[in-house]
């Protein structure tokens, strides 16, 4: 396989066409071509249209690998734009405590939660993190994910933060899924800094952030802006410095308590504000106006038994919404895109079309990559999925089960359910 591929006869070619985020009503426009075909050359999409037109245009089929998608829908690969997939250890017992009523923040106050993963991650070798990271990326790929964001934040010290980012840099080179790295050094307050959070922010600004920026170890900087974690002022200080150093911004905002994280994201010109379970009407209109992506994580609300973010209201107010898994060892241990479809359609009131936009072109825009992925358009990467079914509606109709039959990454077949799953290239 050389990255030259034709997909032909797709019952639906769902292009999600566009090179920037879809706002509000635009999220319903999927741009479907019936009996569609795509030509990919050297990993890049060179032609999109009706099969009859594309194949009559003197395309010499013999030069390409050919996928006949008769009776199947074809879509862009999914972009999971918020995860914490590199970590050591697990927190299965903690999940059971939560099922019996102990809250996420109470577990955190007792030194559990994020801090227990911090300990396990600092003790894990790079090889161990590579191995578990690879397994998790393989699983994501089977759900049709071709680009994923991954955060540090289970170090809180220089060495472990850098170790997480370096592991993601290596995984990006070795694994077909593209990885966008985010520095989340301000994910929790380490024991030594309890009550002295400002000093921890100073340490990140002076002791870690400049190296992350110099070595281009991350494209984004993020912070857990939350009551009893990092305040609005501390978040503003860290993120402003990150911006000055050339990083793009994300925030864990208004997740558990409404403290104005959405408003801050708009003020700072962040690319996305994430979670937003408690975002205010003002915060939501600020996001819409400043064109900051509202990245919603229904798996986390489900797993924490918290109310879902007001996705319907946000879209009706003109926001651009992305959906993501938030895959992590604590608040949401799932990489299932199928679960996200189920929760977003049934509990958040989104249509299947809106969910697809939020996991493709808007997922890409949440990573500032809408110019290169997230839709089936000329000059974008040849990242596509072929469903087992003739229409995209099966993505929500087939509840909790992945309908993805094949995954194509830069024009190469990397996953085929019919051939037993992963294909090594």
Residues that bind ligand NIG (CB under 6 A): 84, 113-114, 117, 224, 252, 255, 300, 326, 328-331
User: Could you tell me which of 408, 337, 333 has the C-alpha nearest to residue 5?
Assistant: 408
Residue identified by tokens 């050094």 is 185
* Residue 18, SS3 per DSSP: coil
Beta-bridged to residue 249, according to DSSP, are 221
222: contact with Fe ion by CB under 5 A:
no
254: contact with Fe ion by CB under 5 A:
no
CA atoms within 13 A on the CB side of 353: 14
Q: Select 222 or 405, whichever has its Cβ closest to ligand NIG.
A: 222
Q: Select 12 or 303, whichever has its Cβ closest to ligand NIG.
A: 303
Q: How far is the CB of 399 from ligand NIG (least distance, A)?
A: 24
Indicate which of ligand NIG, Fe ion, none lies near residue 330 (CB less than 5 to 8 Å, by partner kind). ligand NIG
Q: How far is the CB of 101 from ligand NIG (least distance, A)?
A: 18
Residue nearest to ligand NIG according to CB distances in the complex? 330
User: Could you tell me which of 366, 364, 343 has the C-alpha nearest to residue 355?
Assistant: 343
Indicate which of ligand NIG, Fe ion, none lies near residue 234 (CB less than 5 to 8 Å, by partner kind). none
Helices (H), 103-258: 104-109, 114-123, 126-142, 158-174, 197-207, 209-214, 232-244
Distance in angstroms (rounded) separating the CA atoms of residues 209 and 215 = 10
Residue nearest to Fe ion according to CB distances in the complex? 326
Backbone angles phi, psi at 421, to 5 degrees: 110, -125
* Residue 176, SS3 per DSSP: coil
Q: Which secondary-structure segment (H or E) carries 49?
A: strand 44-50
Q: How far is the CB of 173 from Fe ion (least distance, A)?
A: 24
Q: How far is the CB of 273 from ligand NIG (least distance, A)?
A: 12
Q: How far is the CB of 54 from Fe ion (least distance, A)?
A: 41
The count of chain residues that interact with Fe ion, using the rule CB under 5 A, is 1
Residue identified by tokens 């879509």 is 75
Q: Select 188 or 395, whichever has its Cβ closest to Fe ion.
A: 188
Q: Select 326 or 354, whichever has its Cβ closest to ligand NIG.
A: 326
Q: How far is the CB of 303 from ligand NIG (least distance, A)?
A: 9
Q: Per the structure block, which two tokens stand in for 414?
A: 């990397």
Distance in angstroms (rounded) separating the CA atoms of residues 59 and 398 = 36
Query: Cβ(267)–Cβ(287) under 8 Å?
Result: no
Distance in angstroms (rounded) separating the CA atoms of residues 158 and 404 = 39
Q: Select 257 or 346, whichever has its Cβ closest to ligand NIG.
A: 257
Q: Could you tell me the end-to-end alpha-carbon distance of the chain, in angstroms, rounded to an integer?
A: 8
- In the range 326-355, which residues lie near Fe ion by CB under 5 A? 326
Q: Which stretch binds Fe ion (CB under 5 A): 257-265, 325-333, 335-343, 408-416?
A: 325-333
Please state at what angle helix 232-244 crosses helix 261-268, rounded to 10 degrees.
20
Pairing of strands 5-14, 65-68: parallel
Q: Per the structure block, which two tokens stand in for 406?
A: 């094949």
Q: How far is the CB of 226 from ligand NIG (least distance, A)?
A: 7
Q: Select 90 or 397, whichever has its Cβ closest to Fe ion.
A: 90
Q: Which stretch binds Fe ion (CB under 5 A): 188-196, 308-316, 323-331, 337-345?
A: 323-331
Q: Select 255 or 286, whichever has its Cβ closest to ligand NIG.
A: 255
Q: How far is the CB of 261 from ligand NIG (least distance, A)?
A: 11
Indicate which of ligand NIG, Fe ion, none lies near residue 117 (CB less than 5 to 8 Å, by partner kind). ligand NIG
| Contacting residues toward Fe ion, per CB under 5 A | 326
């Amino acid at each position: 396989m050389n990255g030259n591929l034709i997909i032909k006869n797709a019952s639906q070619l769902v292009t999600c066409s566009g090179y920037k985020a879809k706002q509000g009503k635009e999220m319903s426009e999927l741009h479907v071509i019936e009996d569609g075909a795509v030509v990919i050359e050297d990993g890049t999409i060179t032609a999109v249209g009706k099969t009859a037109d594309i194949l009559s245009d003197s395309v010499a089929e013999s030069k390409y690998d050919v996928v006949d998608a008769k009776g199947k829908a074809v879509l862009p690969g999914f972009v999971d734009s918020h995860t914490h997939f590199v970590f050591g250890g697990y927190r299965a017992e903690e999940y059971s405590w939560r099922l019996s009523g102990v809250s996420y923040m109470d577990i955190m106050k007792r030194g559990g939660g994020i801090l227990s993963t911090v300990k396990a991650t600092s003790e894990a070798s790079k090889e161990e993190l590579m191995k578990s990271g690879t397994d998790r990326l393989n699983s994501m790929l089977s759900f049709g994910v071709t680009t994923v964001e991954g955060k540090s934040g289970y170090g809180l010290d220089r060495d472990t933060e850098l170790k997480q980012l370096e592991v993601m840099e290596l995984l990006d080179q070795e694994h077909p899924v593209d990885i966008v790295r985010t520095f989340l050094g301000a994910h929790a307050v380490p024991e030594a800094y309890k009550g002295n959070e400002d000093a921890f922010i100073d340490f990140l600004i002076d002791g870690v952030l400049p190296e992350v920026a110099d070595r281009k170890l991350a494209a984004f900087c993020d912070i857990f802006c939350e009551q009893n974690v990092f305040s609005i002022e501390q978040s503003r200080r860290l993120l402003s410095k990150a911006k000055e150093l050339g990083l793009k911004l994300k925030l864990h905002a208004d997740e558990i308590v409404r403290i104005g994280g959405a408003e801050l994201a708009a003020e700072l010109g962040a690319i996305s504000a994430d979670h937003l379970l408690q975002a205010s009407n003002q915060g939501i209109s600020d996001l819409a106006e400043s064109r900051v992506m509202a990245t919603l994580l229904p798996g986390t609300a489900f797993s924490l038994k918290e109310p879902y973010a007001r996705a319907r209201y946000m879209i009706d107010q003109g926001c651009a919404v992305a959906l993501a898994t938030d895959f992590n060892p604590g608040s949401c241990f799932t990489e299932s895109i199928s679960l996200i479809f189920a929760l977003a359609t049934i509990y958040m009131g989104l249509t299947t079309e809106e969910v697809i936009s939020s996991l493709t072109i808007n997922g890409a825009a949440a990573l500032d990559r809408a110019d290169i992925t997230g839709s089936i358009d000329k000059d974008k990467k040849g990242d596509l999925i072929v469903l087992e079914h003739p229409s995209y509606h099966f993505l929500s109709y087939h509840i909790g089960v992945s309908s993805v039959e094949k995954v194509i990454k830069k024009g190469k077949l990397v996953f085929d359910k019919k051939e037993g799953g992963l294909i090594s290239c």
